Structure 1
Amino acid sequence: MATMLLAIVIAALATTGASGKTIVVPEGNRHASQPKVPGASIKRTRDTRSTFDRKYDKILDLLQRDRKLRAKINSTAAQYGIDPIHIVGALVGEHTYNVDAYDRLQSYYIKAMAYATGGLSFSYNRMDVDEFVNLPEFDKCRSFSSSFDLWTCREAVWEKSFKNRTVRGVRYPNDRFSAVFFQPFYAGQTFGLGQLNPLTALMHTDMVNRVSGYRKLSHRDGEDVYKAIMNPDMSLAYVAAALRHSIDAYRDIAGLDISGNPGITATLYNVGNPDDRARVLARRNRDRKARGQSLLMPQENYYGWLVNDRIDDLRALF
Structure 2
Amino acid sequence: MRRWIVVVAGLFAALTVLPAWAGVVVPPGNRSAQQPDVPFGSASRTRAMKTTYEAKYRKVFGLLQRDQALRDKIRAAAAQFGIDPIHVAGAIVGEHTYNVDAYDRLQTYYVKAIAYLNSSFAFTHDGENVDDFIQRPQFAPCADLSDSYDRWTCRETIWNTRFRGKSVDGKGFPNNRFSAVFFQPFYAGQTFGIGQLNPLTALMMSDFVHDRTGLPRLDHKNAQEVYRTIMDPDRTLTYVAATLRKSIDAYETIAGFDISKNPGITSTLYNVGDPEGRARALKTENAARARRGEAPRLPEENYYGWLVNDKLPELRELFPSS
Query: Do the aligned residues in 2 keep the contact of 1:264 with 1:304 (CA within 8 Å)?
Result: yes
Give the match for residue 284 of structure 1. Answer: 285
Tell me the distance in 2 between the aligned counterparts of 1:118 and 1:25.
45
Q: TM-score, normalised to structure 2's length?
A: 0.92
Letter in 2 for 1:86: H
Give the match for residue 77 of structure 1. Answer: 78
Tell me the distance in 2 between the aligned counterparts of 1:293 and 1:129.
47
Give the match for residue 185 of structure 2. Answer: 184
Structure 1 ranges of 4+ moved more than 4 A: 17-21
Q: Deviations over 1:61-109 (max 9, x none)?
A: 0000000000111111111100000000000000000100111101111
Q: Secondary structure at the match of 2:318?
A: coil
Q: Deviations over 1:239-268 (max 9, x none)?
A: 000000000000000010000000000000
Query: Do the aligned residues in 2 keep the contact of 1:189 with 1:197 (CA within 8 Å)?
Result: no
Letter in 1 for 2:303: Y
Tell me the distance in 2 between the aligned counterparts of 1:263 and 1:72.
21
Q: Deviations over 1:28-71 (max 9, x none)?
A: 00111000001110111111111111100000000000000001
Give the match for residue 14 of structure 1. Answer: none
Query: Do the aligned residues in 2 keep the contact of 1:18 with 1:252 (CA within 8 Å)?
Result: no
The count of residues paired between Structure 1 and Structure 2 equals 302
Tell me the distance in 1 between the aligned counterparts of 2:205 and 2:291.
36
Give the match for residue 201 of structure 1. Answer: 202
Q: TM-score, normalised to structure 1's length?
A: 0.93
Tell me the distance in 1 between the aligned counterparts of 2:305 and 2:266.
7
Letter in 2 for 1:167: V
Tell me the distance in 2 between the aligned counterparts of 1:125 and 1:52.
36
Query: Do the aligned residues in 1 keep the contact of 2:149 with 2:203 (CA within 8 Å)?
Result: yes
Q: Secondary structure at the match of 1:204?
A: helix
Give the match for residue 165 of structure 1. Answer: 166
Query: Do the aligned residues in 1 keep the contact of 2:100 with 2:191 (CA within 8 Å)?
Result: no
Give the match for residue 22 of structure 1. Answer: 23
Any gaps of 5 or more consecutive residues in structure 2?
1-15
Tell me the distance in 1 between the aligned counterparts of 2:191 and 2:267.
16
| Deviation of the 1:275 alpha carbon | 0.4
Tell me the distance in 1 between the aligned counterparts of 2:71 and 2:191.
22
Tell me the distance in 1 between the aligned counterparts of 2:82 and 2:104.
29
Equivalent positions of 1:222-261 (< 5 A) are 222-261=223-262
| Deviation of the 1:137 alpha carbon | 0.3
Tell me the distance in 2 between the aligned counterparts of 1:281 and 1:271.
15
Any gaps of 5 or more consecutive residues in structure 1?
1-16
Letter in 2 for 1:165: K
Q: Deviations over 1:190-232 (max 9, x none)?
A: 3001001100000000111111211000111000100100000
Tell me the distance in 2 between the aligned counterparts of 1:190 and 1:123.
18
Give the match for residue 275 of structure 1. Answer: 276
Tell me the distance in 1 between the aligned counterparts of 2:244 and 2:17.
19
| Deviation of the 1:133 alpha carbon | 0.4
Q: What CA RMSD, in Å, does the superposition of the two structures yield over aligned residues?
A: 1.2
1:137 aligns with 2:117: no
Identity %: 57
Structure 2 CA distance for partners of 1:286 and 1:19, relative to 1, 3 Å: closer
Tell me the distance in 1 between the aligned counterparts of 2:289 and 2:81.
33
